[in-house]
Structure 1
Amino acid sequence: MGTAVTTALHALPHLPSPPQVRADGSDPFVFHARRLRAGAALEDTSRFSDDVWVLGPAMLKKHERRFILDFTLLPATHRQVAKELCYEMLSGTVPAGEDRPEVATIRTAFTEYLRFLRWAAARPRRLDAMTGRDLEDFQRFLIKSLPAADARQRARSAARKFWLWRSVLSSDVLRFDPRHVDGWSEPKAHSSENATARIPEEVLGPLFVWAMRFIDEFSTDILAADRHWRTPPPAPAEPHVYGDLPILLRAWLDAHITAGKPLPGWRGEPSTTGVAQALGRNPISLGRYRHLIDEAAAIVGLTPQIVRDLPIRGRLDDEPWIGAILADHTEPDSLAALARILQDSCYLVLSFLSGARDSEIKHLRRGALRTECDANGTPYRWKMHSLAFKSEDDPAGVPATWSIGEPAARAITVLERLQPPGTEYLFSRLEHSPGVKRNAASQVLTSGATNARLNTFAAWINDYCQRHGRTDGIPLVNQQPFHLKNGQFRRTLAWFIARRPGGVIAGALAYRHHCIQVFEGYAGTSESGFRAEVESEQALARGEHLMTAIDAHEHTHLTGPAADEAARRLETFGERARFQGTVVLDDNRLRRLMAKHDPAVYPGQYITCVHDHAKALCERARHRRSEGLPDHGGCKPLACRNVALTPENTAAWQREIDRITRRLATRPTLPPLLRHRLEARRTEITAFLLENTTTTRESA
């Protein structure tokens, strides 16, 4: 009988496996050591024995997708160790030298655990019996299955967790560090620099212009249509007279036929809803008179149903930018499509002008904008308040502030008007499309959704330009549309900051104030690495400038106390850049050259700084000294011995003298103290130029 029972059991291949609990017999909640989202209760969350762990309750960022860990995808032989590893990472004991990862990070790594354990299940040995030769086979398996070196590195890193976390796992773990296996690691495919692509200027220019058009020009019509869409039709002032509907309908249809005005249509058919809205009646009551509507439509035709019958106020080249805002959400000029584009335009402007990350923008709430005004009530500073996450101790984010410009402030104002009053987050999903669920797990747009919508925006622009014969669309890059991602705007902002002329030298005060404004919020809030990114771009821009000057022999025309030293450094730098007598430099090679042989020559509007720590008067700022960089904010160009002058520098000083002279000649006469200071300043600059430009470097 026992044999018969066993045979019968084997004939049932889909019997569920018994619940798997921890080795100590406990079945804890997997999030007992994690903070949960507002409204989530621990007793409603996943336990260790569950085959599928729902991660949503512990994912605290509003814009994150709600993931699961599906352990049924793992081979049964290794399911227990995978559960133990994920549990310890979520709420268990963290081994010495390791950090507790974020929930989303665990979900990303789970894909690699699945890859490794599926491969291991096909081996004759358990994990704790594997040898170096087995892991060499795993490396060969990765080379065959994953063409990208970065992907293989992620897979190896995940497999190594079964060694690094061995002390908190019950059994079936790696017994040696895979890093010691020959051939386990590979040379890095690229440097550690930010590899996010910058948005080409020919793409960013028209994209930003169209975004501002939506915010400043088109938003009036879109917001008006949105208000109309959200407002229920008013109740009739007096009860309808029984039997008057066919009379009103015939009169309305006759007026359209007389004027030759098409009826509102919906996907090729007359829209009873549109007719009912025009008459102020219920669409159901028009059903019995559909034949009258169809007869009139056959005479005058149809036009797509619009949201509201009011004039379009927004202008483009002194003409209405659109004929009407349509009701059908599938149309490119529908309220649903245009409202999303308006929201995406605000995202684009905020992302580019603030430098905030996607997660930080997605946590903007109503009231996030603070405006500071002067004594006359004129706004002069706008601040954006949200949450920062990167490198912060609190996984739910910490309050942070960004100083932004007026265009970005206008974008926040538009977002607040676009969302209904009861909606808190400004990048909540809009409700104009029927597919939007009010009770969806993630009401705030995810990063993937934003990426898709940014590219939809670019496609809408090109479609609009094609329909209206315009030439200011988004051009192709390498014969194909440039693929936009949210992180590119922050990267591109760094590139523009680094390349502002005179931005790193004293005298370019406007640019330095702009830099401080951009960095004021997020650079001091979390260790974003953005400042280092900007300095890397600054070094590249400076290297390009220096190579251009060297090729034009401009360094031979320098004057000033550091002219000889500047010429020597630049000649040496130029020699290092030459290959077989020709300068061949792409961006990567120039970055390496600047990293190894930076001549520490900083061209600027008023001076060229030939930095020498021993002579620098700006070296009093201790934190700048520790970085090995000059503090150009404390530059004293008229006294410092690190100064060299190009002809352009000399011309800039002469323009400064001319400005002071014009100021002194103004009427009424300036106050004595201000006049004295301006005269002293002019005298000092004149003496400086007289001393440092009359004697050339060659004659010295």
Structure 2
Amino acid sequence: MTTTPHSRPVAVPPPPLAPESNPFVLHGCTLKLGSRLQETSRFGDDVWNLGPAMVKKHDRRFILDFRLIPAAHRHVGKELCYAMLSGPAPPGETQPAAATVRTVFTEHVRFLRWAAARSGRLETLSGADLEDYQRFLIQSLPRTSARQSARAGARKFWLWRSCLSCDALRFDPAHIDGWAENAAHRRENTTARIPEEVLGPLFVWSMRFIDEFRADILAADRAWHTPAPPPVKPPPYGQVYGLLRAWLDERIASRQPLPGWRGKPSLTAIARAVGCSRISVTRHSRMIDETAALVSIRPQPVSDQPIHGRLDGQPWIQGILADYSEPDSLANLARLLQDACYIVLAFLSGARDSELKHLKRGCLAVERDADGRPYRWKMHSLAFKGESDPAGTPATWSIGEPAARAITVLEQLQPPDSDYLFAPLPHTPGALPDAVNQVLSSGATNARLNRYTAWINDYCLRHRRNDVIPAIDQQQWHLTNRQFRRTLAWYIARRPGGVIAGALAFRHHCIQVFEGYAGTSDSGFRAEVESEQALARGEHLIAAIDAHEHTTLTGPAADEAARRLKEFGIRARFHGTLVLDEARLRRLMTRHDPAVYPGQYVTCVHDHTKALCEKARNRRSENLPDHGSCKPLACHNVALTPENTAAWQHEINRINHRLASRPPLPPLLQHQLQARHEEITAFLQRNNPTPPESA
């Protein structure tokens, strides 16, 4: 099949060809736009190019080099990879993406090299042989996860045995004792979250680039793209020496360094300043070098425009330099600005790296009210994970205004003829307009993120600043693109109702998936969230006890709340004073948690036998209140603080304001609001000695 630049990529139906007939190995894959099946690799080739099947813009272009496999096992390696690429897959297995095949291919090479030294054919390998392979992996791969991947790659020669005509394993390696090293497969995401002490300054510096530094970088970028105009009237040949001598004497008199490039005077900049050609200036290079020895050299700036960005009231940089090898060069600063935008978008949107890499010019949609004020920002891109189309499915994310600013900056930073916002920037000699990768690969982004933190720390060292990206356990934190999405999940999960909000924001199909993403007990994330929530609640309760606020509670559970808090206060006292240190408070909450949960509208004095939220929803084994199913106006676990009563009064005032609005609300909505007003008023009259005020 052939695809044209304007056609939608579709999977090519597999022709009825056997491997011996030398078929195209990608005939069952979705090909990227513009690729021709007739130009792709065949089964008989020793090197297969997977580039045409890499439909994601940020994917690297991989090959399968079968020359790495000993000749005795090369054919079976080809058969397995051919089956995984173009199928059909055996029962119980799914067709992997081309990038996945390349990843597994590394393990195929490892296993087949070991097998070639062990036996002539795979079918002759015994259980004792595969036990030896496990010992080989333990000696050569220190990480458990790496050994698990290696064993999974070897097991493919059993799972896909129906696709192999020449050789295969005779039994399932999973039946061998210890094949999984007694380690259960973790179904949750184990990506580390970014520590708060790292994320804080990292995000602050990123917003500085977007809000304070971007104007100078974009101005330098425009100057870089604008070719210098030729002299209106080049001076006659005989006058070049005099003009150059006068210009150099002026620099000597004012002690101004000459513009430099790579440690030498920049003849191009000097020629532009004098108003003649570079060739004319080159003839007088000796005179220029003598002047440079007197006044020194300063790296050449991109332009003479003043620096407008400020940091603590001072220009954040002396100048943006033209030499791309300098830390303060336009090439470096433009990349840092792009990296800053990536950090803000990755953290605030929750989009995956593949989804961010497919952002295109015009991806931002802004919704405005009747007065033209923006109130909602949406980001459009492609989603891949869990979607049926390998080329991606259109998706939308709701983002905040800072993330929208980052998109605007990226659109200004990219040249007009570049559609993708994370395409490589053109400021270095290695940047090619027809590069294979249209956008930055995931590996390139990870490397740049860590160079970004290194530049920040170097900048702070040069300018004696203390807002560095701190080390964690005496090592610089290693950033990866996956950590931002995981860290955002952590922050969302810690908020009331955050699991539901996270499931929606992260485009997960159910709440349980997001709970696993934010962290469950195996990874420690969920336990850590609950521990910190309990600690914050304990601090709040102790402050309330110290202020005797528990004596002012009203509501059906007020007496029970006062009893629990009194007992908790007694346990919290140490030598006559309340607990103040974090360690003792954590122990206290673990052993003697009063199960009192302060909230905006009610204080929940949780008793699972009376909790309407548990009756409305089948909860798990933990007896915790379900704030998403809370029924505060009817539940007997409710106590009210003065702040809770004030929140209900504010709700009554809001309803009154809506009922009095003009034009009148629809009758059904009026009825619902009036019923809500009466329900809240009756609730407060039952549980508060002071009747609510009318708005």
- Which TM-score bucket, shorter chain as reference? 0.7 to 0.9
Matched, 1:438 2:436: no
- State which of 316, 333, 341 in structure 2 corresponds to 1:321: 316
Matched, 1:251 2:246: yes
Distance verdict in 2 for CA 1:663–1:355, change over 3 Å:
closer
Conservation of the 8 A alpha-carbon contact between 1:523 and 1:531: no
> Counterpart of 1:523?
507
CA RMSD, aligned part only?
A: 4.0
The SS at the match of 1:432 is coil
Equivalent AA in structure 2 for residue 616 of structure 1: L
> Counterpart of 2:478?
483
Matched, 1:690 2:688: yes
Equivalent AA in structure 2 for residue 87 of structure 1: Y
> Counterpart of 2:568?
none
Distance verdict in 2 for CA 1:623–1:291, change over 3 Å:
farther
Distance verdict in 2 for CA 1:175–1:600, change over 3 Å:
farther
Distance 1:171 1:567 in 2: 78
Matched, 1:54 2:49: yes
Equivalent AA in structure 1 for residue 420 of structure 2: Y
Matched, 1:654 2:645: yes
Question: How is 1:265-276 mapped onto 2 (pairs within 5 angstroms)?
Answer: 265-276=260-271
Equivalent AA in structure 2 for residue 653 of structure 1: N
Equivalent AA in structure 1 for residue 283 of structure 2: R
* CA shift for structure 1 position 47: 0.6
Distance verdict in 2 for CA 1:155–1:93, change over 3 Å:
same
Kindly provide the CA deviation profile for residues 107-142 of structure 1, in whole angstroms up to 9, marking residues without a partner as x. 111111111111111123521122222222222222
Conservation of the 8 A alpha-carbon contact between 1:127 and 1:174: yes
Conservation of the 8 A alpha-carbon contact between 2:537 and 2:598: no
Distance 1:565 1:166 in 2: 66
* CA shift for structure 1 position 540: 4.5
Equivalent AA in structure 1 for residue 448 of structure 2: R
Distance verdict in 2 for CA 1:373–1:434, change over 3 Å:
same
> Counterpart of 2:400?
405
> Counterpart of 1:104?
99
Conservation of the 8 A alpha-carbon contact between 1:391 and 1:527: no
Equivalent AA in structure 1 for residue 612 of structure 2: A
Distance 1:176 1:563 in 2: 67
- State which of 510, 529, 544 in structure 2 corresponds to 1:541: 529
* CA shift for structure 1 position 320: 0.7
Q: TM-score, normalised by structure 2?
A: 0.81
* CA shift for structure 1 position 322: 0.5
Distance 2:609 2:418 in 1: 56
Greater CA drift, 541-550 or 352-361: 541-550
Distance 1:444 1:207 in 2: 23
Distance verdict in 2 for CA 1:494–1:617, change over 3 Å:
closer
Question: How is 1:332-351 mapped onto 2 (pairs within 5 angstroms)?
Answer: 332-351=327-346
> Counterpart of 1:306?
301
Kindly provide the CA deviation profile for residues 120-165 of structure 1, in whole angstroms up to 9, marking residues without a partner as x. 1112352112222222222222222222222221111111111111
Matched, 1:87 2:73: no
The SS at the match of 2:74 is helix
Question: How is 1:17-28 mapped onto 2 (pairs within 5 angstroms)?
Answer: 25-28=20-23
* CA shift for structure 1 position 237: 4.0
The SS at the match of 1:495 is helix
> Counterpart of 2:176?
181
Distance 1:178 1:271 in 2: 67
Distance 1:466 1:48 in 2: 56
Distance 2:217 2:516 in 1: 41
Conservation of the 8 A alpha-carbon contact between 1:660 and 1:678: no
> Counterpart of 1:227?
222
Matched, 1:616 2:612: yes
Kindly provide the CA deviation profile for residues 458-515 of structure 1, in whole angstroms up to 9, marking residues without a partner as x. 1111111111111111111111211111111111111112223xx23xxxxxx89xx7
> Counterpart of 1:66?
61
Distance verdict in 2 for CA 1:185–1:340, change over 3 Å:
same
Equivalent AA in structure 2 for residue 231 of structure 1: T
* CA shift for structure 1 position 266: 1.6
> Counterpart of 1:375?
370
Matched, 1:356 2:351: yes
Distance 1:477 1:351 in 2: 22
Greater CA drift, 196-205 or 244-253: 244-253
* CA shift for structure 1 position 329: 0.9
Greater CA drift, 170-179 or 249-258: 249-258
* CA shift for structure 1 position 547: 6.8
* CA shift for structure 1 position 220: 0.3
Equivalent AA in structure 2 for residue 334 of structure 1: S
Equivalent AA in structure 1 for residue 91 of structure 2: A
Distance verdict in 2 for CA 1:39–1:223, change over 3 Å:
same
> Counterpart of 1:118?
113
| Number of residue equivalences | 633
Distance 2:233 2:314 in 1: 40
Greater CA drift, 197-206 or 236-245: 236-245
Distance 2:680 2:638 in 1: 20
Distance verdict in 2 for CA 1:281–1:382, change over 3 Å:
farther
> Counterpart of 2:462?
467
Conservation of the 8 A alpha-carbon contact between 1:363 and 1:387: yes
Kindly provide the CA deviation profile for residues 419-476 of structure 1, in whole angstroms up to 9, marking residues without a partner as x. 0000011101111111223332113111111111111111111111111111111111
Conservation of the 8 A alpha-carbon contact between 1:228 and 1:307: yes
Greater CA drift, 388-397 or 243-252: 243-252
Distance verdict in 2 for CA 1:308–1:525, change over 3 Å:
farther
The SS at the match of 1:265 is strand
Distance verdict in 2 for CA 1:324–1:442, change over 3 Å:
same
Distance verdict in 2 for CA 1:376–1:415, change over 3 Å:
same
Distance 2:276 2:28 in 1: 58
Equivalent AA in structure 2 for residue 654 of structure 1: T
Equivalent AA in structure 2 for residue 686 of structure 1: L
Kindly provide the CA deviation profile for residues 543-597 of structure 1, in whole angstroms up to 9, marking residues without a partner as x. 5444776899979979755689999999xxxxxxxxxxxxxx99xx99xx99xxx
Q: In structure 1, list runs of 5 or more residues that go unmatched.
A: 1-21, 505-510, 571-584, 693-700
The SS at the match of 1:25 is helix
